[in-house]
Homo-oligomer: A and B are copies of this chain.
Amino acid sequence: MTAEYEVFKEYLRQKGLKMTSPRENVLRAFLGHEGHLSTDDILVASRKLDPAIGQATVFRTMKLLEEAGLARDASQDNGPRKYEHAYKHSHHDHLLCIRCGRVVEFYDPQIEKAQKQIFAKYGFTETGHWMELHGLCPDCARQK
């Protein structure tokens, strides 16, 4: 079984919750795909493992996975919520092409450092951050 499964199980145990078959299938479906997955993508993938899974279970389970540190909210704009893997995936930010939707993930130590300084400056305790850069990718800029 995967390390993620163990992490999830332990998280549930600590909370007095149960590891169930639907939860396991949603986790496996989520882990089986990289990138930004909508809740519907996850529902479809989960049903390949168990056709009886309901969408409410996907919503409820993804919320738990987020709390357990296995998933991270990757929603953009006001469309459907999206999740990405969070376990042992180093933190990164996103560069998004507004025309073709292409997403580049990057990590910039300089920016991370500057963000920490902002937290310190205003006396805030950091819990997380979200940065998204929007632009045209080289291909789309060329077509213009």
CB closest chain-B residue, reference A80: B78
* Chain B CB within 10 A, most for which of A117, A123, A126, A132: A123
* Chain B CB within 10 A, most for which of A110, A122, A124, A138: A124
Report the count of interface residues on A (CB-CB < 8 A): 37
Q: Contact: A124 with B111, CB < 8 Å? A: no
Nearest first, the 9 closest Cβ-Cβ pairs linking A and B are A124-B135, A123-B138, A131-B131, A125-B136, A129-B133, A128-B134, A126-B135, A125-B141, A111-B114
Binding site for B on A (CB under 8 A): 73, 75, 77-78, 81, 95, 97-98, 104, 106, 108, 110-111, 114-115, 117-119, 121-138, 141
